[in-house]
Amino acid sequence: MLQTRIGSRWLVPAVAWEAGKPLVIEEVEVAPPQKMEVRIKILFTSLCHTDVYFWEAKGQNPVFPRILGHEAGGVVESVGEGVTDLQPGDHVLPVFTGECKECAHCKSEESNMCDLLRINTDRGVMLHDQKSRFSINGKPIFHFVGTSTFSEYTVVHVGCLAKINPLAPLDKVCVLSCGISTGLGATLNVAKPKKGSSVAVFGLGAVGLAAAEGARIAGASRIIGVDLNANRFELAKKFGVTEFVNPKDYNKPVQEVIAEMINGGVDRSVECTGHIDAMISAFECVHDGWGVAVLVGVPHKDAVFKTSPMNLLNERTLKGTFFGNYKPRSDIPSVVEKYMNKELEVEKFITHEVPFSEINKAFDLMLKGEGLRCIIRMDA
């Protein structure tokens, strides 16, 4: 690992120079935080599929060189002008979407789609001056979704930082800054299953298993896991999934299989695959009269959702959600508290750990589909 020279702000991020090429650990200058910005020291970060999608840059705008990373935990090092609710030493989780607390969305109880800080995957600069805070010999290195956590230090808009309980272990709760909260919130905040109800979860990756965890917390009595990859089933048992369906094992649509298993359909379903067929099945497998389906997966840009309007007339509800409907600053601290009071189990999502110098191993694991979350320790 290279030396860190904090005094002159020469630090050590992992730079993605080109699409699909291994990240390189370099000395990069991280400029001080400007108006409404905070510079944080990242202690732990983890790899999520979204980092891999934008690193591969297939079907996305390639923005390079860039510092990826958005699931992380850190400590505030310094704050810029106008920042009043954070100070050096505070423990924070950076979030890829934000909460300005002033726009119509932030003021609405129903929305978390902040006008100012909503995710923007094409922007590689800070909002304040449209410039990057990262540079090598004066050449800018771009930011990623406002977080860029594959760096010992990063600069984030204050609206994208959740201040959390300083007693919470950052090496565990860092995973709550993206995928786990997304799946959990999709169930608890949007699908809202009743105690004793049935819930189908499509896709048993980290997001889907977090949705299953939400169903377990809500007291669902039957949790049906649907995945094309049977290897996921053993792991899913730890998350309270009680029954499994592999659509490949049947020669009829999976929604019919589920309707036969559960007397006409499930009470709730949560789709976490990103595949349009699974989205349609997730909707069509809920019970008429009261069933609610929630879409979480990000579809292909040309995907079209096709179903008979009769399915809606028969009193099924279709919803979608972004970051589990959580507002990052107002709600994520309480998700951390759910972990602290042992209501939510986070450890079972963490299957691997690597030192920062071996960050590319975390990419290899994800590309092979091994495990759920790999924690990257910055101090090692």
Q: Which does 266 bind (CB under 5 to 8 A by kind): ligand NAD, Zn ion, none?
A: none
Q: What order do you get walking across the sheet with 139-141 strand by strand?
A: 10-11, 28-30, 134-136, 139-141
Q: Is the CB of 11 or the CB of 188 nearer to ligand NAD?
A: 188
The answer to the question of residue 127 lying near Zn ion (CB under 5 A) is no
**Does residue 162 sit in helix, strand or coil?**
strand
Q: Which does 227 bind (CB under 5 to 8 A by kind): ligand NAD, Zn ion, none?
A: ligand NAD
Question: Which stretches does DSSP call E strand in 194-256?
Answer: 198-202, 222-226, 243-245
The answer to the question of residue 127 lying near ligand NAD (CB under 6 A) is no
| Contact call for residues 236 and 212 (beta carbons, < 8 A) | yes
| Angle (deg, nearest 10), helices 49-56 and 359-367 | 90
Distance between CA 310 and CA 241 in Å, rounded? 30
| Contact call for residues 296 and 207 (beta carbons, < 8 A) | yes
Q: Which does 270 bind (CB under 5 to 8 A by kind): Zn ion, ligand NAD, none?
A: none
Question: Which stretches does DSSP call E strand in 99-209?
Answer: 134-136, 139-141, 153-157, 161-163, 198-202
Q: Which residue is nearest to Zn ion (CB)?
A: 114
Report the DSSP beta bridge partners of residue 136.
Answer: 139
**CB contact set of 7 (below 8 Å; sequence gap of 6+):** none
Q: How many residues does the chain have?
A: 380
The residues annotated with a catalytic role in the active site are 48-50, 70-71, 100, 103, 106, 114, 118, 178, 373
Distance between CA 241 and CA 28 in Å, rounded? 45
Q: Residue ranges of the alpha helices (H) in 164-242?
A: 170-173, 179-185, 206-218, 232-236
**In this structure, what token pair is assigned to residue 179?**
């995928």
Q: How far is the CB of 278 from ligand NAD (least distance, A)?
A: 4
Q: Is the CB of 81 or the CB of 115 nearer to Zn ion?
A: 115
The answer to the question of residue 371 lying near ligand NAD (CB under 6 A) is no
The answer to the question of residue 232 lying near ligand NAD (CB under 6 A) is yes
**In this structure, what token pair is assigned to residue 144?**
């990623």
Tell which residue, 76, 100, 86, 81, has the closest CA to residue 36.
81
Q: Is the CB of 84 or the CB of 308 nearer to Zn ion?
A: 84
| Contact call for residues 278 and 305 (beta carbons, < 8 A) | no
Binding residue for Zn ion (CB under 5 A) from 86, 103, 136, 235? 103
Q: Please choose, out of 17-25, 131-139, 259-267, 296-304, the segment that lies near ligand NAD by the rule CB under 6 A.
A: 296-304
Q: Which does 273 bind (CB under 5 to 8 A by kind): Zn ion, ligand NAD, none?
A: ligand NAD
Residue 157 sits at φ, ψ, to 5 deg, of -65, 140
Site string for ligand NAD, 148-187 (x = CB under 6 A): -------------------------------x--x-----
Binding residue for Zn ion (CB under 5 A) from 68, 76, 93, 100? 100
DSSP per-residue string spanning 28-40: EEEPPP-TTEEEE
- Token pair 């009595």 is at which residue? 221
Q: How far is the CB of 366 from ligand NAD (least distance, A)?
A: 8
Q: Is the CB of 10 or the CB of 53 nearer to ligand NAD?
A: 53
Q: Please choose, out of 29-37, 211-219, 321-329, 357-365, the segment that lies near ligand NAD by the rule CB under 6 A.
A: 321-329
Q: Is the CB of 221 or the CB of 229 nearer to ligand NAD?
A: 229
Site string for Zn ion, 295-334 (x = CB under 5 A): ----------------------------------------
- Give me the residues that bind ligand NAD (CB under 6 A), please: 49, 179, 182, 202-208, 226-229, 232, 247, 272-275, 277-278, 296-298, 321-323
- Give me the residues that bind Zn ion (CB under 5 A), please: 100, 103, 106, 114
